[in-house]
Amino acid sequence: MKKINVGIIYGGKSVEHEVSLQSANSIVKAINRDKFEPILIGVDKKGKWHLNNEASYLFNPENIEQVELNKSKDHVAILPGEMKNQLILTKYGSPLKQLDVIFPVVHGTLGEDGSIQGLLKIANLPYVGSDVLGSAICMDKDIAKRLMQGVGINVAKWQSFTISQRDKIHYEELATYLGRSMFIKPANLGSSVGVSNVSTKEEFENAINMVFEYDHKIIIEETIIGREINFALLGNENPLVSLPGEVLINNGLYSYKSKYMNEDDTKFGIPAKLNESKIDEMQRVALKAFETLQCEGLARVDFFLTDDGCFYVNEVNTLPSFAKTSIYPRLWEASGLDYSDLINHLINLAIKRYNRQQKFKSTLLPSI
Active site residues per annotation: 16, 191, 326
Residue numbers in the known binding site for ATP are 141, 183-185, 191-192, 221-228, 314-315
Give the side-chain half-sphere CA count within 13 A for 172: 0
- Residue 121 to residue 245: CA distance in whole angstroms: 33
How are beta strands 217-222 and 49-52 bridged, if at all? unpaired
Question: Does residue 247 contact residue 228 with C-beta atoms inside 8 Å?
Answer: yes
Please provide the DSSP assignment of 59-103 as one string.
ESTT-TTT-EE---S-EEEE-TT-SS--EEETTTTEEPSPPSEEE
Residue numbers in the known binding site for Mg(2+) are 302, 315, 317
- Residue 289 to residue 277: CA distance in whole angstroms: 19
**CA-to-CA dists, residue 266 to 193, 229, 269, angstroms:** 16, 14, 10
**The total number of residues written for the chain in this structure:** 368
- Residue 195 to residue 208: CA distance in whole angstroms: 10
Separate counts of helices (H) and strands (E) for the chain: 10, 19
Closest CA to 129 of 106, 160, 99: 106
Beta bridge partners of 166: none
Task: For the beta carbon of residue 47, count every other beta carbon within 10 angstroms.
Answer: 10
Give the side-chain half-sphere CA count within 13 A for 8: 25
Closest CA to 293 of 158, 132, 169: 132
How are beta strands 227-235 and 158-162 bridged, if at all? unpaired
* Alpha-carbon dihedral sign for residues 267, 273, 278, 284: positive
Residue numbers in the known binding site are 141, 183-185, 191-192, 221-228, 302, 314-315, 317
What does the DSSP 8-state code read for residue 53?
P
